[in-house]
Each structure stands twice: as C-alpha cells, then as structure tokens.
C-alpha cells in the first residue's frame, strides 16, 4: 500500500494551506511522482487554489487516485497518463 500522504494533498477547510488563497472546484490534470514513476491523471475532481493553482483532493477522489497510482505503478511503466475513471468522476467533491 502506498503512503497517501506522501504525494496526495487533501484540504477540507476551504482555504489553501500553502498560501491561504480561496479554493475553487475544478478538474485539473495532476502529475504524481511516485518513486521514480511519473503518473499523470487527467480530469481529477479537486479543489484548486485560486492564487497558486495547487490542487487538493478530497475524500473519494483521493481514494480513487491512490488506487490508480497503486495499479499503475505495478505496471512498471516510467510514465503513465490516464483519465480519472468515469464512474466516479461526477461524485460531488465533499468540502
Ligand atoms: Zn494557494
């Protein structure tokens, strides 16, 4: 199991913990660096800082991303690009 906290930042306060900016919702493309493997996930439901554009994942999206990263890393590709799964894409982001 991967250590989620190592590469997925979650934030539920409504404000960016890095710069204090306001968080808005969006579906950014987020690159994750997992022990030498680059995994790019597109259309991730996330909250995005209006000031510094840093994305933060909440609840179900963070779990889904963790599962994707675990699966893709096991394939041993150096770079993977994948879209966030449709079946969970429209789940509302819990603030
Ligand atoms: Zn920020």
Considering the domain boundaries, does residue 35 fall inside one? yes
Name the pTM for this structure: 0.77
Helix (H, G, I), strand (E, B) or coil at 12: coil
Considering the domain boundaries, does residue 74 fall inside one? yes
pLDDT at position 7:
54
Distance 34 CA to ligand 1 centre (A): 23
Considering the domain boundaries, does residue 20 fall inside one? yes
Q: What is the DSSP string of 9-74?
A: -B--SSB-TTT-PBEEEE---EEEEETTEEEEEES--EEEETTT--EEB-HHHHHHHHHHHHHHHH
Q: How many domains is the chain built from?
A: 1
Considering the domain boundaries, does residue 91 fall inside one? no
Two tokens, residue 54: 């840093």
Considering the domain boundaries, does residue 3 fall inside one? no
pLDDT at position 68:
93
pLDDT by residue, tens only, the chain of 95 residues: 444 444 567 776 789 989 999 999 999 999 999 888 999 999 999 999 999 999 998 778 989 999 999 999 898 899 999 999 976 555 555 55
Considering the domain boundaries, does residue 26 fall inside one? yes
Considering the domain boundaries, does residue 68 fall inside one? yes
* Residues, beta carbon < 5 Å, ion ligand 1: 16, 18-19, 21, 49, 51-52
Residue range of the domain that includes 44: 10-85
CATH label of the domain that carries residue 77: 3.10.20.860
pLDDT at position 58:
77
Distance 75 CA to ligand 1 centre (A): 33
Considering the domain boundaries, does residue 94 fall inside one? no
pLDDT at position 94:
55
Contact criterion met (CB below 8 Å) for 52 and 9:
no
Distance 62 CA to ligand 1 centre (A): 19
Distance 48 CA to ligand 1 centre (A): 8
Two tokens, residue 41: 């996930």
């Amino acid at each position: 199991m991967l250590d989620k906290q190592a590469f997925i930042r979650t934030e539920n306060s409504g404000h960016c913990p890095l710069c204090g900016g306001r968080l808005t919702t969006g579906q950014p493309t987020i690159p994750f660096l997992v022990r030498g493997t680059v995994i790019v996930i597109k259309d991730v439901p996330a909250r995005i800082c209006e000031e510094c554009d840093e994305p933060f994942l909440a609840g179900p999206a963070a779990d889904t991303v963790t599962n994707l990263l675990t699966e893709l890393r096991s394939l041993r590709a150096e770079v993977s690009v994948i879209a966030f799964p449709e079946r969970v894409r429209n789940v509302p982001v819990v603030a």
